[in-house]
Amino acid sequence: MDLTMQVRFLSCIILTACHGFLLTNKTGIPSVGTSAFTDYHYLMLTDALGAQKQLLSQMETFVLQLQNQLKTVNQEVKDLKSGNSAVHQSLAVVELKNETSELRVKTTRLQNSYDILQKKFDTIQNENNVLKHDNAALKSQITDSHNLSIHTKQQLDSLTHSIAASNIQNVTTIQSNVDTLTSQVKSRLHSLEQNYALLSKEIRTVNGTIKEMDQHVALTSCGKNDADYIGGHLIKFPVTKTSIGINNIAEFVKTGQFNCSKSGVYLFSVFVTRVGNGDSQFGMYRNDHPISSVMIEYGAKGNHFSGSGTVVVQISAGDILSANTVSSFRVSGTYSCFTVIKIY
């Protein structure tokens, strides 16, 4: 402010000098080398004095203005110093203050943002460090794995080579052994199959024999009425007492021929009673061939005389057993019976 005042004074002095030059121009007096005063010159001087007075009054007015301005400026300075006169504060200062406070707020915000960013950066840096560490560990693991796989591959190669080299001989030996064993097993199997076939056949035969042996045959059949027979005829025994395992009993009842359908060893027994005096004879037959002959002799008393025969015969299926008269005589039906039993 002091500077401004000095400038204003200086410009005032310059202004005064200018008026002096105007004066000389107005008066028409040459500025340098004037030799004599005239009336004209006096008048001109008076005028000049009047003008000088005017100038002085102007100067006074100007100084007053300056004083006023100085007062105002002093007041402004005071106000500025005390800072409690918002009314007189210039708009620029208020704006500046406003801007300053805004800037402060913004600066605070920026500071906060910066702090947050710094924290985030720190976190990211930490994470990055952890990741770096993990990455290093992973790299190391990968290297280890790679090494391990190389090692394993080498082992596998050497194993394959050793297997290939040392075991070809073994494989050939084993193959040859297996071939020998296979052929032995085949031969043994063949002979076993043959044995089995033979055995099966034998078993079937034995089974058939057992089956036949297991089949029971038993018959006892007796005569009905007394009947006269001439020699060489089949004696009939139509009254059946026991019949087991016999299919064609009706044939036997009708003809007196016992047709053995099952082969085996049989007990064959016949007793015949003759009515009337005199010797008589009958025979036991298998397929028309006599097995046994029985003589019936008469005694001193009565007129019924009997004789019996018992034999064991080997029978094949289809053989015929029968009792035939040899001489002619009358046979008592009631006291004559025919018995056959298969023993085994």
Ligand X SMILES: *[C@@H]1O[C@H](CO)[C@@H](O)[C@H](O)[C@H]1NC(C)=O
Q: How far is the CB of 263 from ligand X (least distance, A)?
A: 12
Is position 95 an interface residue for ligand X (rule: CB under 6 A)? yes
Is position 173 an interface residue for ligand X (rule: CB under 6 A)? yes
CB under 6 A: which stretch of 4-12, 45-53, 163-171, 176-184 binds ligand X? 163-171
- The pair of structure tokens assigned to 110 is 């920026």
Q: Which is nearer to ligand X, 154 or 242 (CB)?
A: 154
Q: How far is the CB of 203 from ligand X (least distance, A)?
A: 5
Is position 47 an interface residue for ligand X (rule: CB under 6 A)? no
CB under 6 A: which stretch of 57-65, 164-172, 215-223, 335-343 binds ligand X? 164-172
CB under 6 A: which stretch of 29-37, 201-209, 221-229, 329-337 binds ligand X? 201-209
| Cα 112 to Cα 239: distance, rounded to the nearest angstrom | 140
Q: How far is the CB of 109 from ligand X (least distance, A)?
A: 14
Name residues contacting ligand X, limited to 51-70 (CB under 6 A). Answer: none
Is position 320 an interface residue for ligand X (rule: CB under 6 A)? yes
Is position 318 an interface residue for ligand X (rule: CB under 6 A)? yes
Selected from 71, 106, 211, 216, the binder of ligand X by CB under 6 A is 211
Q: Which is nearer to ligand X, 7 or 171 (CB)?
A: 171
Could you write out the three-class secondary structure of the chain? CHHHHHHHHHHHHHHHHHHHHHHHHHHCCCCCCCCCCCHHHHHHHHHHHHHHHHHHHHHHHHHHHHHHHHHHHHHHHHHHHHCCCCCCCCHHHHHHHHHHHHHHHHHHHHHHHHHHHHHHHHHHHHHHHHHHHHHHHHHHHHHHHHHHHHHHHHHHHHHHHHHHHHHHHHHHHHHHHHHHHHHHHHHHHHHHHHHHHHHHHHHHHHHHHHHHHCCCCEEEEECCCCEEECCCCECCCCEEEEEECCCCHHHHHHHCCEECCCCEEEEEEEEEEEECCCCEEEEEEECCEEEEEEEECCCCCCCEEEEEEEEEEEECCCCEEEEEECCCEEECCCCCEEEEEECC
Q: How far is the CB of 307 from ligand X (least distance, A)?
A: 27
Is position 104 an interface residue for ligand X (rule: CB under 6 A)? no
* Interaction mask 235-274, ligand X, x per CB under 6 A: ------------------------x-x-------------
Selected from 69, 125, 184, 207, the binder of ligand X by CB under 6 A is 207
Is position 144 an interface residue for ligand X (rule: CB under 6 A)? yes
Selected from 16, 154, 170, 183, the binder of ligand X by CB under 6 A is 170
Which residues form the interface with ligand X (CB under 6 A)?
A: 25, 94-95, 98, 102, 143-144, 147, 166-167, 170, 173, 203-204, 207, 211, 259, 261, 318, 320
